[in-house]
Every structure is written in C-alpha cells, then in structure tokens.
Amino acid sequence: MISNQQIEQMQKKAKVRYTLMCVFAVVIWLAGVALLGYYAFFSGEEMEISEKLGLVLALPLGLALGGGYLFYILFVRTAYEQFNLCFKTQYVMPTVESTGYFQDLSYNPHLGLSYTEIRDGAVVGCGESRYFHSENLLKGTYQNIRFHYCDVKTQYMSRSGKKQEVRTIFEGQVMRFASFNQSKRSFGHLQIFEKEFLSNLEGWTAQNKIETEDEAFNKRFQIFAADSHNAFYILTPRMLEQITRFADAMGEQIAITFTGPVMYVAVCRTRSIFDGDVDKPISSQREDILQDVEMLRKAGELLITEMNTIDGNL
C-alpha cells in the first residue's frame, strides 16, 4: 500500500522533471539562436537574408522541440506514468465508492473494452485494431444494471499519395450498460450520433436513416436503424427528450447505440478519466474523479432509470 506522502513525492518528481524539460528546451533554443546567429551574420558566409532568418529562427526551434521531446521520453514520461498509476490505484476506487451510487465496483487502469466489442457495438468508428487503445476500466452495477466504463481511442492510417498519417476517429469515454429497459430490446442496431462540424465519429451505420417527428432532434442528431419500427419503439418522445438532456449535460459530442438489451454511450473528450494532475494538490483532485463518475451516473439516470420507472409504474 503506497502512502499519500509517497504519491505526493512522485507528483513532485514528475513536476520537477517537466519543468526541467521546459528549461532544457529553452536553453537549447537560446543556444541555437546564439550560435547559428553568429554563424549566419558574422562568419562571412554568403547567404540570402531569408536563409539566414530561417537558419536563426527555424532550426533552433526544431532543435529545442526535438531536445525537449527526447527529454520527455527519457525522463518525464516514466515519472509521470509512475505517479499516475499510483494515483489511480490509491484514489480512484475509494472516491468512486464514497459516492454510494454504484455497487460491486472493480477498477483496472490497464484494461478496457475490446476492439471487437467497440466494432460490434458500432457506437463509434472502430478504426484499425493496431491503433486501438482502451484503458481505465471501471466495472460495477448501477441500480442493479451491470456497466463498464473506460477510456477509448480509435484511430486509422490515412494515406494520401505518399503521405501517411495516423488520424483519430474518436477519443473519449465509452459506457456499456447491460440493459436499458426491463421490457424492450433493440432488434438490430439503433444508432444516434450528435452532429458536429467536420466530425467523422460514426463508422459503420445501419441501413435506414430515421427522421423523427421532433425537428429539433433531427437537426441535432443523426439516427440510423436496422428497423424503422424498432427505432420508433425505443425512441419514444420521452426518450428523445432524455437524450437531449443528456447531451446538454455533457456539453460534448455524444453517440448512443442500442443493440439487443445493451446500450453503449460514447462521449468525446480528450481528457482521460481518473488521470492525475501534476500541478494540483493530490487531495483536491477528488473533484475531477467525481466529475468523471458523475458523467456515468447521468447516463444511467437519464437514459435508463427514467424508462424503467415508467414501466415500473404500470
């Protein structure tokens, strides 16, 4: 068991190394500017002004960035990952348990949802398996419904002529609830994607594009379903309302998929859940964890419990 003091020492170590990395990069830049400036303007070499300026400004910057990155890889990343892992192991579970919302909790910072599950769930584009990454798996039950909650990142290799680049399709959190309604099942996939400019969040989509009677909803979301009747059966006016409320609460781009009894919810967010921050005191980072957990609770409360409450009131 690692003590709080040890974690704080790790945090301090990571922060110091990060600061040193910045200083190192600046020193390289200044040294580069000085040396190359002297060479360019005082060595007597015949060069164009643009070449001289390029040499003085661009090259030192490149060297500084390269040197800084090397320093990061060699010294900073290891220290931060060590601190982050200890922070998650020490703080995440007790904080989540203290909320009292969930039962049967388990947390593993190294595990996540599998590529196959994300691909079959079709809540976001799965990209290529070699670039798929998932971690920070929190499992448990909410109102007797099993859930999985983790970070997911999907990417693919983009080829444009000779140029190759790894592009990110989705980076954020994915929640998987074992049941979204006591009596309803989705026959085939029912997908809802929030529209966003230049977003390619959706990968494979079902064959029927659905337009509901709610024009505001249609403007904000795209709906795809294997079966149109099934889509309207699950997306009742109340459900449409709840999805809108959830999207408003998140403030980020969301995607929801229903398949069989299971519901997947994806929220686009670049920040990983439960990550430690080197700049904040350890004790005050509890709020960040609670915020991450609140997202999960909101999904369960708005998208599941409300529906079950209606059915339970028969």
Partner 1 sequence: MELAVIGIGIAVLLVLLIVGFILMYNRLQRLRVKVEEAGSGIDVALEKRYDMLSELLESVKKYLSHEYQTLTGVTALRSGAQGEERRLDQQQGLSEEVIRSIDEEISRQTHSMDEIRKQMDRGRIGRMGSHRNRERDAQRREEAQKSLHEARELRGGAVNQKISALASVHRDLTGVTAGIDALYEQYPVLNSWISMDQFQRAVYNTEEHLQAARRLYNSNVSIYNQTVRVIPWSIVAAMFHMEPASFYEVEEKKRSFQANFD
- Residue ranges binding partner 1 (CB under 8 A): 183-184, 210-213, 228-233, 236, 311, 314
CB of 264 to partner 1, least distance (A): 22
Tokens of 271: 């920040």
Which lies closer to partner 1 via its Cβ, residue 154 or residue 230?
A: 230
Residue 262, C-beta contacts closer than 8 angstroms, at least 6 positions apart: 121, 176, 177, 178, 179, 180
Give yes or no for a contact between 153 and 170, defined as CB atoms under 8 angstroms apart. Answer: yes
Pick the closer one to partner 1 by CB: 130 or 209: 209
Give the residue with the Cβ less far from partner 1, 64 or 210.
210
Q: How far is the CB of 234 from partner 1 (least distance, A)?
A: 8
CB of 214 or CB of 294, closer to partner 1: 214
Q: How far is the CB of 305 from partner 1 (least distance, A)?
A: 18
In the complex, the smallest distance separating the C-beta of residue 233 from partner 1, rounded to whole angstroms, is 4
Edge to edge, the sheet with strand 221-225 lists 103-108, 133-142, 145-160, 163-177, 262-268, 254-260, 186-194, 221-225, 208-210
- Shortest gap between Cβ of 229 and partner 1 (angstroms)? 6
Nearer to partner 1, 239 or 266 (CB): 239
The answer to whether residues 180 and 233 touch, using CB atoms and an 8 Å cutoff, is no
Backbone angles phi, psi at 209, to 5 degrees: -90, 130
Pairwise CA distance, residues 40 & 129, whole Å: 48
Are residues 175 and 298 in contact, defined by beta-carbon separation less than 8 angstroms?
Answer: no
